[in-house]
Amino acid sequence: MLDFLFLVFMFPLAGFMVLAFARRRLSENQVAAIGVGSIGASALLTLLLGVSFLSNPPEGQAHTQLLWTWMSVDGFAPQFALRLDGLSLVMLGVINGVGFFIHLFASWYMRGDDSYDRFFSYMNLFVASMLFLVLGDNLLFLYFGWEGVGLSSYLLIGFWYKDPANGAAARKAFVVTRVGDTFMAIGLFILYHQLGTLNIQELMVLAPQHWAVGSDIATIAALLLLGGAVGKSAQLPLQTWLPDAMAGPTPVSALIHAATMVTAGVYLIARTHVLFELSPFALNCVGWVGAITLLLAGFTALTQTDIKRVLAYSTMSQIGYMFLALGAGAWSAAIFHLMTHAFFKALLFLSAGSVILALHHEQDIFKMGGLRTKIPFVFWVFSIGCLGLVAFPFTSGFFSKDEILWQAWASGHHDLFYAGLCGAFLTAVYTTRLVALTFFGAPRSEAAREAHAGHGLAHSLPLAVLAFFAVFGGWIVLPLADVLPRLELPSEGQHGIEALSIAVSLSGITLAAWLFLRAPDAVKALAQNPPGRLLHRYWTSAFGFDWLYERLFIRPYLGFIRINGHDFIESFVAAVPVAFVRLHAALALTQNGRLRWYAASVAAGAVLMIAVVIL
Amino acid sequence: MTGVPLDHAMILCGILFSLGLLGLLLRRTLIFMLMSLEIMLNSTAVAFVAAGARWLQPDGQIMFVLILTLAAAEVAVGLALVLQIHQRFKTLDVEALAALKG
């Protein structure tokens, strides 16, 4: 059974090929059947693989399938090999399981779009790249998938390319993540130069043998990998692309910017955890990057007015949680949160998509309101997703977030724990605000008064299934024990932490519900007084990072381009065509149309030739 | 065979050829230019005959016949063109026919 592993990525890849080459020749239903079916087949295969893997574990708790040698250059021979272990099985499950339902929803959401087939070909390409990323057994293969993911996210963010703003958002995402990718590439060079291999398993064995704990080279390599992870996962300081990436269609936001792609960084760090354990400094950086991003994104989400941007910032902050967990050494808790977050965040984005379509592409939550009675089904599933997001007791998010907070506390990272607790409070506040403004109160626009609910199996089934997992996904036990080291922690005090975090999130919900439902005037007054206004402006612009980067990088770079535009060497190049034009003009003068002049030229030429021959 | 030495014949040819070339360059009327061309062709033909006689080869005379036919053909085409030009432009002045400027 495990030998069919390669089919997992072959299905989406084949789907991409078919859809890409059959452009405009297939009907919408055929496209949907191919695009959704390929992921469905892949998901089914993942299920079978998982059952077979867990019931009959292969030797060493991992199965490696060698497809071929990618290239062989002077001893450098990276294999095209797939590796299935507990970690990649979990990732496969998330990508294919959640991905399938998102594709199904997208087949409803994108109905009637001009480029229905283009959309699904990109989506399949994305899933295939992501599968490459998690299945690759060496870092080069992983990097291949990593870049493929970057490419397809670029294509999908700029999917509606006729609006230049979408193209700009796509370019921004591409360039910003490319900064991280460059760090990662340099990290790979260093690893290969120092250890002579890129195979992950070999690296994990070789690194502790060659490098002492805390050695400089281990720290540099780990920090460079962290740079790559930070770019892909939209963490500080490369987080600015994620909110703009909401320019893409909503299922894209659900698939790429919530459920899978942005978790690639978390996966990378968990995969190379041995390196980070060798460098306590780098591991600390991971935790602090997570904690700071978590708080910044939480504050920013408080003031956003676009439903998708609120969710985007909450994604950023939840991935901050995962980084925080990684930094505290709680590897499996981070992966656990990755999975539960994929469930409820995909659910939130899909139901937000349903809201947006119900209101004819209105995304401003201040133009919504009162949708609870208009689209009750979406209201319920959205609320379930929100409960997962705020870690309401016994939803999926509760288990994973408590696991993170508890392990951070118990492993002695008290500062990270407090940051996580503040984040939990912020999450509760902005989530409740989002629900209150969207679904409660009176409708605040014509579109909201005339909202109409979405229909059909492709619309409701994914929402229902994801809602189920958002509630009960916390009971899933992940097979990570053999892949990631477990923290040995005393279990006393865990219930105290749980009670504390429940109290924090409930008080956040209560406060926000009171503020936005009972006392909206108080909110206005708060935002109107001078310090409130300043904070509001600061938070709305996401702490001014775009402003800062614009001045720090973009303008100097553009200025440099302008200087370089009229450069010295360029003038030599420009002189060549000018010289040819002049020469042509001079030669054209001899074509004066006078017969006798031509005859004289011929005679002179003949004389010249004879003279040359004779002399 | 004793006769005219080759040098003399070649000098004659040179003079004829130069005359023809000068006529071609200095005359402005197409008819005269055509005639100058004929003179140049004939000067080369004489050179061939003289050279053939000098080395006792028949090739010189064969070339002469070839040049003769060539000249006849050239005159036929040339005169036809001259007629056409005269009909169309009402002049045979070659300086006036300089419309094909580059």
Q: For chain B, which residues make up each domain, given as ranges?
A: 6-99
pLDDT of residue B42: 92
pLDDT, mean of residues A443-451: 76
Rounded-to-integer distance, Cα A274 and Cα A204, Å: 6
Q: Given an 8 Å threshold on Cβ–Cβ distance, is A596 in contact with B97?
A: no
CA distance A19 to A21: 6
Question: Cα separations (Å) of A524 from A515, A529, A533?
Answer: 10, 9, 10
Return the pLDDT at B102.
Answer: 59
State pLDDT tens for residues A235-247.
888 888 888 888 8
Confidence check: pLDDT of A592 > 90: no
Please judge whether A594 and B25 are an interchain contact, meaning their C-beta atoms are less than 8 angstroms apart.
no
pLDDT tens column, A186-206: 998 888 888 888 888 888 888
Q: Which residues of A512-543 are buried (b: 16+ CB within 10 A; e: fewer)?
A: bbebbeeeeeeeeeeeeeeeeeeeeeebeebb
The pTM of the full predicted model, rounded to 2 decimals, is 0.76
Measured between beta carbons, the chain B residues lying within 8 angstroms of A590 are 102
Task: Return the CA Rg of chain B.
Answer: 17
A350, A355, A358, A471 from A381: Cα distances, Å = 10, 11, 15, 10
Set of chain A residues whose Cβ sits within 8 Å of the Cβ of B101: 591-593
In the predicted model, is pLDDT for residue B65 greater than 90? yes
Asked which of A122-126, A141-145, A357-361, A536-540 is least confident by mean pLDDT, the reply is: A536-540
* Smallest Cα distance from B28 to chain A, Å: 8
pLDDT digits (tens, 9 = 90+) for A137-180: 888 888 888 899 889 888 888 888 888 888 888 888 888 888 88
pLDDT in tens, A305-350: 888 888 888 888 888 888 888 888 888 888 888 888 888 888 888 8
Which residue does chain A place closest to B24, by CA atoms? A596
**Residue A266 predicted with pLDDT over 60:** yes
3-state helix, strand, coil in chain A (%, to 5): 80, 5, 20
Residue of B nearest to A603 (CA): B21
Question: Which stretches of chain A sit within 8 Å of chain B by CB?
Answer: 588-596, 599-600, 603
Please provide the CATH number assigned to the domain covering B6-99: 1.10.287.3510
pLDDT at A529 over 70: yes
How far apart (Å, rounded) are the C-alpha atoms in residues A127 and B21? 84
Q: Please tell me the distance from the alpha carbon of residue A438 to that of residue A455, in angstroms, as a whole number.
A: 20
Burial of A138 from C-beta contacts in 10 A (0-12 / 13-18 / 19+): buried
What residues pair up with A364 in beta bridges, in sequence order?
A: A306
